[in-house]
Amino acid sequence: DAGVIQSPRHEVTEMGQEVTLRCKPISGHDYLFWYRQTMMRGLELLIYFNNNVPIDDSGMPEDRFSAKMPNASFSTLKIQPSEPRDSAVYFCASRRTEATNEKLFFGSGTQLSVL
């Protein structure tokens, strides 16, 4: 298995532009998580899905952020309009439901820089 695949690896954009981050979870994993890594707040959970349905989006910072999972193999995290404070590494992770304590598998992350 190729693991969790994220794209792009790096994104540089200007303030006000729309940014779309993409994630392909591991096949057979029914939970998908979006995390954001910053120096100030560490790894923080933004939203997670179960069987393509958003379960908890309480970590989404504001209305400029939205996430979708149209099918079991694809999810997007969109920021519109982007702001410099959105600059961070965004990770996608997936896991199975086999047991409640299954480990997370992380993608390689998207380094976002908003100028």
Residues that bind another protein (CB under 8 A): 4, 31, 33, 35, 42-45, 48, 50, 55-56, 91, 100-109
User: In terms of CB distance, is 82 or 110 closer to another protein?
Assistant: 110
CB of 83 to another protein, least distance (A): 22
Q: Give me 113's structure tokens.
A: 């820089």
Q: Which is nearer to another protein, 25 or 109 (CB)?
A: 109
Question: What token pair was written down for 115?
Answer: 């100028």
Nearest to 67 by CA among 86, 93, 82, 49: 49
| CB-based contact 34:46 (threshold 8 Å) | yes
CB of 40 to another protein, least distance (A): 10
Q: How far is the CB of 113 from another protein (least distance, A)?
A: 16
By beta-carbon proximity to another protein, the closer residue of 74 and 105 is: 105
